């Protein structure tokens, strides 16, 4: 009995010891499980963060790819613009060269005109000086010589040139016309326009209808005198009348009327020279 009790006691002790050991292991397991759960949560969180970072990285990559595609498109447009600019620059250079050539031609033309004007001014001055020196003081009272814009104007009073109320040349005008004709013959490169002018007083003659007729007839008389009496080449002469419509001053006074009744001998460079200049002028 004692042996049996001892065995029971030993078994009870072993059972008690085993029970204590199991509780300790169970607690250890529980603690380990908690640690594992905490670790699992951290892993899950890290995984979620990694996924979010990966999504953000993918979004950045997509954005960079879009930017790269846009940059490539911009580069292509810039290259096209550059190629076009190079072509335009080449064309512009050609245009500039043409413009420079045109400017050079224009400058040559301007120099040519300037030379002609200088020559014309010199000739006109010499012609005017020669004419005024050849006329007497009495003749200069009825003759006015001016140079305007390269043209020589010799204005002759009608009371010196014509018989009263007529278009016939007076004897008094012969000497003056002969001096003027000599100057005209000395300058063969000039054309001569004879222009008649009247006042505004109407004329009443059987063979003269109005002041137009009178001004033209007087100009024609001077032209024929220069041709027939003084040997001026008729190809250089032109007769024209302006009636009462080209007055120098008002016709309200007798002195004004007297000034307006005049015949002008207008000496100009030949028209052919100017036409040749126009033909030689640059187109642009």
- For 236, the 3-state DSSP assignment is helix
The highest-level CATH class for domain 115-280 is alpha beta
What contacts 193, CB < 8 A, 6 or more positions away? 238, 240, 264, 265, 266, 268
Distance CA 251, CA 257 (A): 5
Q: Yes or no: say if 253 and 201 are a contact pair by the CB < 8 Å rule.
A: no
pLDDT at 258: 92
What is 34-70 written as a DSSP string?
Answer: HHHHHHHHHHHHHHHHHHHHHHHHHHHHHHHHHHHHH
pLDDT at 77: 86
Burial 65-90 (b: 16+ CB within 10 A, else e): eeeeeeeeeeeeeeeeeeeeeeeeee
Q: Yes or no: say if 211 and 194 are a contact pair by the CB < 8 Å rule.
A: no
What contacts 203, CB < 8 A, 6 or more positions away? 165, 210, 211, 213, 214
Q: Yes or no: say if 243 and 162 are a contact pair by the CB < 8 Å rule.
A: no
Sequence spans of domains, the chain:
115-280
Tokens of 268: 């100009």
DSSP class of 169 = B
The total of other beta-carbon atoms located within 10 Å of residue 259's CB is 18
Distance CA 122, CA 57 (A): 92
User: What does the pLDDT profile of the chain (284 residues) look like in tens digits?
Assistant: 555 565 656 565 555 555 555 777 778 788 888 888 787 877 888 888 788 888 877 877 788 888 888 888 888 888 888 888 777 777 767 677 777 777 776 666 556 555 555 555 665 677 677 777 888 888 888 888 888 777 889 999 998 899 877 899 998 888 899 999 998 898 888 899 999 999 999 988 888 999 999 999 999 999 999 999 999 999 999 999 999 999 999 999 999 999 999 999 998 876 555 445 445 444 54
Burial 151-185 (b: 16+ CB within 10 A, else e): ebbbbbbbebbbeeeebebeeebeebbebbbebbe
Tokens of 3: 């042996």
- Half-sphere exposure for 80 (CA within 13 Å, toward CB): 6
């Amino acid at each position: 009995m004692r042996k049996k009790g001892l065995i029971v006691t030993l078994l009870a002790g072993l059972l008690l010891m085993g029970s204590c050991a199991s509780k300790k292991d169970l607690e250890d397991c529980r603690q380990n499980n908690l640690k594992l759960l905490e670790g699992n949560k951290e892993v899950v969180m890290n995984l979620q963060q990694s996924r979010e970072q990966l999504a953000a990285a993918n979004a950045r990559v997509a954005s960079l790819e879009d930017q790269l595609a846009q940059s490539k498109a911009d580069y292509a447009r810039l290259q096209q613009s550059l190629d076009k600019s190079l072509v335009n620059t080449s064309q512009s250079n050609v245009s500039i060269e043409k413009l420079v050539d045109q400017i050079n031609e224009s400058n040559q033309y301007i120099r040519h005109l300037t030379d002609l004007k200088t020559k014309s001014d010199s000739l006109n001055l010499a012609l005017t000086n020669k004419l005024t020196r050849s006329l007497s003081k009495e003749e200069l009272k009825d003759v006015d010589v001016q140079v305007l814009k390269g043209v020589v104007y010799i204005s002759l009073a009608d009371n010196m040139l014509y018989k009263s109320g007529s278009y016939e040349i007076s004897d008094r005008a012969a000497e003056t016309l002969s001096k003027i004709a000599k100057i005209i013959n000395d300058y063969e490169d000039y054309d001569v326009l004879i222009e008649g002018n009247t006042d505004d007083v109407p004329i009443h003659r059987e063979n003269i209808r109005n002041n137009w007729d009178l001004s033209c007839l007087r100009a024609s008389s001077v032209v024929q005198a220069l041709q027939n009496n003084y040997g001026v080449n008729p190809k250089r002469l032109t007769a024209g009348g302006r009636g009462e419509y080209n007055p120098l001053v008002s016709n309200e006074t007798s002195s004004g009327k007297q000034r307006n009744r005049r015949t002008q001998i207008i000496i100009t460079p030949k028209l052919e020279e100017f036409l040749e200049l126009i033909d030689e002028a640059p187109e642009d």
